[in-house]
Amino acid sequence: MRTVLLTFVVVGLACFALPGVADAQSAIAGVVRDSSGAVLPGVTVEASSPVLIEKVRTAVTNDAGQYRVVDLRPGTYTVTFTLTGFNTIRREGIVLEADFTAPINVDMRVGSIEESVTVTGESPIVDVQSSQRREVVTQQQLETIPTGRNFQLMAGMVPAVTTGVFDVGGSSAMWTGGSLLVHGSLTVDSRTLIDGMVVDAMFGGGQCSCTYDNEGQTQEMSVQVSGGSAENQLSGVLVNRIPRSGGNRFSGDGVVLFANDGLQSQNLDDALRARGLTTPARLHKLYDVNYSLGGPIIRDRLWFYFSGRNWAYNNYVANALYADGSQAIDDNIVKAYPLRLSSQLTRKDRVTVLFDWANKIRGHRGLASNVRPEASFTQDQPAQHIAQAKWTSALSDKLLVEAGYTQSYLGTKYGYQPEVRRATCFSAFVNCAPGTGYGDIAHQDTILNIA
């Protein structure tokens, strides 16, 4: 009875976990044959890489000579094939991208197992086991392409994907809630994932990621535009961000960017002045400081990866002025500090935990040419975070169980500008006691119809 109950529990967990995490998996798969072309069952296949906390992941070929090593992280792998009575085959330098199955087929020759044949060559670039159309934005591209360092802007560079915004030198770095569209899809058809689990906010149909991305924590990003599998909920753009995990040695990096109005030209001419534009929109100050560090807490057992990012984009608003006549500024600053822990609990069980805290402070939201600075409002998001945990267990060569949980919290506080006089009366205007009133807040007496 206990065995039957355990079977139901395991199958239930697998069914529950699959829709949320299947897209995070990369794999190496293929067929092993002998020199005559006959398939070889029972071949031990080992995929090793520094990106694996357990160092090596193993599979065995079935009766048809087929194997599949699953749940692999992006990185460079060496695959070893061993079988008693045959030479050992080593295939080195296999570069595995996110959400990709690399086909590796080998032919083994009769010989002693001590005899090793090392094969090097180009890494496979075509996934012959999937009909998905997806593009991978690599870590090198994330670091070098001159955009606002925002995963949505990077996804917008994939052919056929449109964003609805235009980034000029980082001008859209604060953008989090727009559209990622492809092949006529709707805004609500897009989804954002971290490590294969959805992290979008619930409002607006769920299309808003509303997360301020720390690019320092992202190893690669997979952008799926068509041919999605059955576990995908929607048919639009699917962005899967693969977070970094650390390793058995300490490593880190950093990025510092800066620009101000002295590095930007203007195109204000007489024609624009004649139409009423006196002070054009332009950059005030932009900076981005991003640093990361990862490494072992316990070698081969517990890794960490931490990243911090402080960035701002402050711009002058067209025809918006302070009381002293100087041009008003829409000021924004964001701080994001994700921490990820990866633990190999046992030979078969692995647990990862991520906590990504971010805070945005916007000093003058709503500021415009027809909205004075004191009439704009402040925005503060002190508790915004993503919390994520995932357990993976290889119960056998044929059964992998994954269960995960993600919490995405978005809390925003709005307030008046400090100089705004607050209301001291909250009843009908004619009933306000002497010396009280609505302060600077716009009001309308609905009884006497007096503003």
Stretch 273-302: mean pLDDT: 93
Residue type, 290: N
Backbone angles phi, psi at 20, to 5 degrees: -90, -30
Stretch 55-77: mean pLDDT: 92
pLDDT of residue 114: 62
Stretch 248-266: mean pLDDT: 90
Q: What is the pLDDT of residues 182-210, one digit of tens each?
A: 888 877 788 888 998 988 877 666 666 67
Q: Is pLDDT at 341 greater than 50 in this prediction? A: yes
Whole-angstrom distance, CA of residue 301 vs CA of residue 297 = 8
Q: Is pLDDT at 229 greater than 80 in this prediction? A: no
Whole-angstrom distance, CA of residue 262 vs CA of residue 131 = 49
pLDDT of residue 126: 62
pLDDT of residue 4: 40
Structural domains for the chain: 2-120 (2.60.40.10), 133-416 (2.170.130.10), 421-451 (no CATH)
- How many Å separate Cα 241 from the centre of its chain? 4
pLDDT of residue 185: 82
Backbone angles phi, psi at 307, to 5 degrees: -140, 140
CA distances from 385 to 102, 211, 335, 409 (A): 34, 8, 11, 5
Residues 6+ apart with CB under 8 A from 46: 56, 57, 58, 79, 80, 82
pLDDT of residue 175: 66
Stretch 357-361: mean pLDDT: 91
pLDDT of residue 404: 94
Structure tokens at 14: 């697998």
Cβ(254)–Cβ(277) below 8 Å: no
Please state, as a whole number, how many other Cβ atoms lie within 10 Å of the Cβ of residue 433.
9
Q: Is pLDDT at 311 greater than 60 in this prediction? A: yes
Dmax (CA) for the chain in angstroms is 103
pLDDT of residue 441: 67
pLDDT of residue 20: 42
With 0-12 / 13-18 / 19 or more C-beta atoms within 10 angstroms meaning exposed / middle / buried, residue 435 is exposed
Stretch 360-376: mean pLDDT: 91
Q: What is the pLDDT of residues 405-422, one digit of tens each?
A: 999 888 888 888 888 888
pLDDT of residue 434: 78
Q: What is the pLDDT of residues 75-109, one digit of tens each?
A: 999 999 999 889 999 999 999 988 888 999 999 99
Q: Is pLDDT at 14 greater than 50 in this prediction? A: no
Whole-angstrom distance, CA of residue 206 vs CA of residue 186 = 12
pLDDT of residue 327: 95
Q: Is pLDDT at 348 greater than 80 in this prediction? A: yes
pLDDT of residue 123: 66
DSSP of 279-340, one letter per residue? Answer: S--EEEEEEEEEEEEEEEEETTTEEEEEEEEEEEEEEEEEEEE-TTSPEEEE-EEEEEEEEE
pLDDT of residue 280: 92
Whole-angstrom distance, CA of residue 360 vs CA of residue 346 = 39
Stretch 206-219: mean pLDDT: 78
Question: Which among 118-122, 296-300, 435-439 has the top mean pLDDT?
Answer: 296-300
Question: Which among 23-32, 114-123, 332-341 has the top mean pLDDT?
Answer: 332-341
State the average pLDDT for the chain: 82
β pairing state of 238-243 and 191-194: parallel
Q: Is pLDDT at 232 greater than 80 in this prediction? A: no
pLDDT of residue 344: 93
With 0-12 / 13-18 / 19 or more C-beta atoms within 10 angstroms meaning exposed / middle / buried, residue 136 is middle
Token pair 């400081």: residue? 289
pLDDT of residue 162: 82
pLDDT of residue 60: 93
Q: Is pLDDT at 131 greater than 70 in this prediction? A: no
